[in-house]
């Protein structure tokens, strides 16, 4: 992404948030370039799941605000990617994957200069890290990964698995929960997966 474009996004975000902590209520006036992403279905669903989970985990109000923003904006860096990769119906080539894997860094870069969003930028940067350290782009592991990133990783995976994609049908919620369980301790924070499953079970009871 060009430096000028990043600066424009940061300026729009700063203007919309006005440096305040009340930015979640500013969704309708959120930066023009980020608004479509903010309102996009996957991001909204991940935010809803993440907030439910955050409340179940007893997070404070400021932590919930940060979590909601991280969830809504976790993939915002994809907006800097070529449409040919984003909308490709089949598997990505190795080169295309190398571009795709840069979206956490690009998203974080869009947010890092916005007053009050530094922690959100860090969480966006780390949303593809894995509990065992084999994720990207930083390769950090365990509790070195921001809590909001670990929550977004679980909720994002569940949302993605239970949604139809051009190249595959949606999986059932039970299937998706089993897949999360399989990834607990390797891809995902096991405590977060446990809380997510417990929360899903109590909602279904």
Binding site for Fe ion (CB under 5 A): 75
Output the smallest distance, CB 194 to Fe ion, in A: 23
Question: Is the CB of 21 or the CB of 97 nearer to Fe ion?
Answer: 97
| CA 116 vs CA 43, 58, 66: distances in Å | 20, 22, 10
Question: Is the CB of 26 or the CB of 96 nearer to Fe ion?
Answer: 96
DSSP bridge partners of 184: 188
CA dist., res. 190 & res. 193, Å (int) = 5
Question: Is the CB of 61 or the CB of 84 nearer to Fe ion?
Answer: 84
Question: Is the CB of 12 or the CB of 129 nearer to Fe ion?
Answer: 129
- Reduced to 3 states, what is the DSSP secondary structure of residue 168? strand
Burial class (CB in 10 A: 0-12, 13-18, 19+), 112: middle
Output the smallest distance, CB 187 to Fe ion, in A: 13
Output the smallest distance, CB 70 to Fe ion, in A: 11
Q: By the 8 A CB rule, do 188 and 150 touch?
A: yes
- Strand ranges (E), the chain: none
Output the smallest distance, CB 202 to Fe ion, in A: 28
Output the smallest distance, CB 128 to Fe ion, in A: 6
Counting every residue, how long is the chain?
A: 205
Closest CA to 23 of 57, 58, 72: 72
Question: Is the CB of 75 or the CB of 119 nearer to Fe ion?
Answer: 75
CA angle 102, 70, 193 (to 5 degrees): 95
Output the smallest distance, CB 60 to Fe ion, in A: 25
Question: Is the CB of 107 or the CB of 116 nearer to Fe ion?
Answer: 107
**Closest residue to bound Fe ion by CB:** 75
């Amino acid at each position: 992404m060009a430096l000028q474009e990043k600066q424009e996004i940061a300026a729009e975000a700063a203007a919309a948030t006005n440096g305040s902590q009340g930015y979640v209520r500013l969704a309708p006036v959120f930066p023009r370039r980020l608004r479509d992403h903010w309102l996009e279905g996957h991001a909204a669903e991940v935010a809803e799941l993440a907030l439910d989970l955050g409340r179940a985990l007893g997070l404070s109000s400021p932590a919930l605000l940060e979590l909601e923003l991280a969830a809504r904006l976790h993939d915002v860096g994809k907006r800097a990617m070529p449409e040919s990769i984003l909308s490709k119906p089949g598997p990505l080539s190795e080169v295309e994957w190398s571009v795709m894997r840069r979206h956490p860094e690009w998203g974080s870069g869009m947010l890092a200069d916005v007053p009050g969003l530094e922690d959100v930028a860090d969480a966006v940067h780390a949303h593809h890290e894995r509990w065992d350290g084999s994720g990207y782009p930083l390769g950090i592991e365990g509790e070195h990964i921001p809590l909001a990133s670990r929550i977004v990783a679980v909720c994002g995976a569940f949302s993605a698995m239970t949604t139809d994609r051009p190249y595959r049908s949606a999986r059932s919620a039970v299937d998706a929960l089993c897949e999360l369980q399989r990834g607990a301790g390797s891809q995902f924070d096991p405590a977060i997966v446990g809380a997510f499953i417990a929360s899903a079970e109590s909602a279904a009871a």
